[in-house]
Structure 1
Amino acid sequence: MRALLLAAGIGSRLRPITNTIPKCLVPINGKPLLEYWLKNLSEAGIDEFLINTHHLHVQVEEFIESSKYRDKITLVYEKKLLNTGSTLLTNRAFFDNEPFMLVHADNLSFCDFGKFINAHKNRPNNCDITMMLFKSDNPSSCGIVELDNRGIVQEFYEKVKNPPSNLANGAVYICEASLFDFLECLDKKEIDFSNDVLPKYLGKINTYFNNTYHRDIGTIESYALSQIEVLKQN
């Protein structure tokens, strides 16, 4: 299976750290965030990675060049920052018409990624996406989901003031290649995954609950917490 690691973001909420370090390379206990993803997913059997770059892209390129995973990695520089769906569609050929993993690499996850992959392989009929879920300590900052008794997403609340629960979208997915046809049919230059794609797939999104560890490294506070929490995972 191949994976897209989204690593191009500016990381404005993490300033001033991201003024000089790309968000995907912020160190957590001395190890760049992107390194965790490459290690964990390689161990789960992901054999090729596409990583998009934009902000401070030269630093990301230098990191990959010195990485032991460099032979598995294809870098694509976005002169103008694209939305998630647009990045996918632009790089459709990379995925070779096979299921793929889609990861917002400004998150940090520990779990049994092999079980996540198997959850997608054994998904209910008519589900084209499997979404990783976690319990958020700040649900109003997340996309919150409501599930049926099979674990299929029925409702999605993107960063609402009073969400109905703390069961949140981890922004880590496994998708079928059929998603590309849907993206093309949207006929849009900029495709936002949360707003343009997920609402159209309600009733067709399988889920996998990560009960080990997941955090959005999106703010100074969450970044500081991750430094402590990751010690407990190792």
Structure 2
Amino acid sequence: MRALLLAAGIGSRLRPITATTPKCLVKINDRPLLDYWLELLFEGGVDRVLINTHWLAEQVWHHVQHSHWRPRIDVVHEPELLGTGGTVLKNRGWFLDQPFLVVHADNLTDFDIRGLIAAHERPPHEHLMTMLGFRTDSPCSCGIVELGTDHKVVAFHEKVQNPPGNLANGAVYIVEQPVVDMIADIGRPFVDFSTEIIPRLVGRIRCFETAGYHRDIGTVESLYRARIDFPQRLAVYTRRAPYGATTIIN
């Protein structure tokens, strides 16, 4: 399975840190957030990763060139931000008409990717997307889901006051190709996934709840908290990635 790793955001809530450092390269326990993601994805069985860039793109590009996983990473630059849906649509050919992962690089997590994939593939196959869910201590600042039978999302509440629960959208998805067609039908380059696509998929989304760590590090307060409570994890650099692939810039 391939994965789109969204890393183009400006990170305005993290200023002044992100005035000189792209959000995906902010460090937790002396390690860039992007490296946690690359290790998690590739060790979890992902074949190839596409990273989109925008703000301070040269730093991200330079970091990728020195990554252990470089031969399995493609990079695409967005002169103007497209939103999650717009980025998916712009790069639809890269997904090879197969289901694919979409993940937001501004989260710090250790969820079970293989478990997410297994949940997506488990019958009955009535869903078009599987969403990672996590329990949040700040439900008003998240998209909150309500579940029916077979972990089906039956309602979605995007950042509302007094939401009915604390099971939140973890901004990690396995997406089927008909969703890309749905994005294309909107007819414009910028498409917001949370407000324009997910509501249309209610009833066709399966939720996989992680029991692990999951935090949005999009604010200075959240970043500092993650640096305190996220367990130290040693980088795995002993396994060499296959060579011979091409890194792309558009």
Q: Does TM-score exceed 0.5, indicating one fold?
A: yes
Partner of 2:99: 99
| 1:71 and 2:71 are equivalent in the alignment | yes
**1:3 and 2:7 matched:** no
After TM superposition, the structure 1 = structure 2 runs for residues 118-197 of structure 1, keeping only pairs within 5 Å, are: 118-197=118-197
**Maintained 8 Å contact 2:26/2:32:** yes
Aligned to 2:115: 115
Q: Which residue of 2 aligns with 1:17?
A: 17
Paired amino acid for 2:99: P
C-alpha distance in 2, partners of 1:126/1:61? 39
**1:63, distance to aligned residue in structure 2 (A):** 0.3
Give the 3-state SS of the residue equivalent to 1:198 in structure 2: helix
How far is the alpha carbon of 1:231 from its aligned partner? 2.1
- Over the aligned positions, Cα root-mean-square deviation in angstroms equals 1.1
**Contact persistence 1:85–1:193 (CA under 8 A):** yes
Q: Cα distance, 1:183 vs. partner?
A: 1.2
Q: Distance in 2 between matches of 1:38 and 1:156?
A: 29
CA shift at 1:111, angstroms?
2.1
Distance in structure 1 (CA, Å) of the matches to 2:209 and 2:153:
12
Q: Give TM-score scaled by structure 1 length.
A: 0.97
For residue 92 of structure 1, what is the amino acid of its counterpart? R
Match runs of 1:221-232 below 5 Å: 221-231=221-231
Tell whether the 8 Å contact from 2:53 to 2:60 is kept in structure 1 after alignment. Answer: yes
Percent of matched pairs sharing the same residue: 50
- Please name the residue that 1:210 is paired with: 210
Are 1:28 and 2:22 matched, yes or no?
no
Q: Contact 2:140/2:161 (CA < 8 Å) preserved in 1? A: yes
In the superposition, the TM-score normalised over structure 2's length comes to: 0.91
Using the TM superposition, give the Cα deviation of residue 162 of structure 1 relative to its aligned residue in structure 2, in angstroms.
1.4
Q: 2: CA distance between counterparts of 1:232 and 1:66?
A: 22
Contact kept in structure 1, 2:120 and 2:174, CA below 8 Å: yes
Is the CA contact (8 Å cut-off) linking 2:29 and 2:232 kept in structure 1?
Answer: no
Query: Amino acid of the residue matched to residue 154 of structure 1?
Result: V
Give the Å deviation of 1:89.
0.3
Checking the alignment, whether the CA contact within 8 Å between 1:130 and 1:174 is kept in structure 2 is yes
The aligned counterpart of 1:88 is: 88
Q: Distance in 2 between matches of 1:124 and 1:135?
A: 25
Kept in 1, the 8 Å contact 2:81–2:190? The answer is: no
Q: State the alpha-carbon separation in 1 of the partners of residues 103 and 228 from structure 2.
A: 23
Moved over 6 A (4+): none
Please give the per-residue CA displacement for 1:115-158, whole angstroms capped at 9, x wherever unaligned: 11111111533201000000011111100000102210011100
Q: Which shows bigger deviation, 60-69 or 180-189?
A: 180-189
User: Whole-Å Cα distance in 2 between the matches of residues 42 and 140 of structure 1?
Assistant: 33
Q: Deviations over 1:49-98 (max 9, x none)?
A: 11000000000000000001111111001011111100100001100000
Unaligned runs of 5+ in 2: 235-250
